[in-house]
Structure 1
Amino acid sequence: MQLLLSRLDSPVGEMLIVTDAEGTLRALDFHDYEPRMRTLLARHYETYQLTTGDTPDAIAAALTNYFAGDLNAVNHLPTQTGGTEFQRTIWKALRTIPGGVTRSYGDLAKQIKKPSASRAVGLANGANPIAIVVPCHRVIGASGALTGYGGGLPRKRWLLDHERKHAGLFAA
């Protein structure tokens, strides 16, 4: 599989953006987590080649607008991932969590009608290859505590604070 890698600056560090030839988002991670991103790509696609490309205009604009406070700007970006059917179900459910809102792993398990699967939800959440657009940062522990994030807890805290600050400022 041939994929394109581009980079985009953001308030939380340089982002690595992986798209296919059609401009569909396949992965989004942070520069300091590039090995993690490559591991996830290998798990999802087995063999792939990354070549340097430009960030598609629609993705660059959506992410820029998200960081400017329009939390809904990324909602309609097309994504495609590998992963298991269960993982893709979780990633789809993540996209239903509004900006400025958090859910627990248990909440997501109930949403997909598998209330005893909160640990599996956590594992799927951790294997999400598309940060921000598939908002795994919006998932927290049942106690309300911030739990692991593939981009690091300081980034997760920043993203949640950013979303709380801007929630409701832009129409859907």
Structure 2
Amino acid sequence: MSALIEEKTISNDIKLVYDLVKKPNRTNLKPKIDRAVIAKMRLDLILPANDILTVDIDFDTTSGYHGNAMILTDDFGVEMAATAFEVKYSKEFANALRNAWLNKQNKDAPRKPSYILVQHPKKEGELPRVFAACGDRDHKPDTPTDPIPSYAPRPTPPPAITEG
């Protein structure tokens, strides 16, 4: 059986490759009425040593929570999200996002994060969950993994409004 492939170039530096072979949905995810839902993504990361590390991101967990909202991959994306977070949530929360991007996850990390995943809040009034990923270790074979830390500052009450 040969795969049905369709390629689409949407800009000079973005090419999509579609595998058009029909497959049944064996995930816990449900599509939207008018939109597809991402179940998984495969990324090839070019590491500072010029090696490629392939990462599969699986959004289909048994938790029943599938609130993945954003994947931030560069300074511009992080700053756009941080600006929005500053307006909607707080400067402290926006700075936590910026710091997660600009700094290594720990002092022994070989590099800064390659991307940040943002999940929408589980409940009204909560902050989004932010995960800096792929920068905390060298990914050598037989190296144990640690869970990805979440960056969410404690909520701060809004400043009092004074009438002038």
Higher relative contact order (CA 8 A, sep 6+): 1
Q: Which has the larger radius of gyration?
A: 2
With normalisation by structure 1, the TM-score equals: 0.24
Going by fraction, where is strand more abundant, 1 or 2? 2
Greater helix proportion: 1
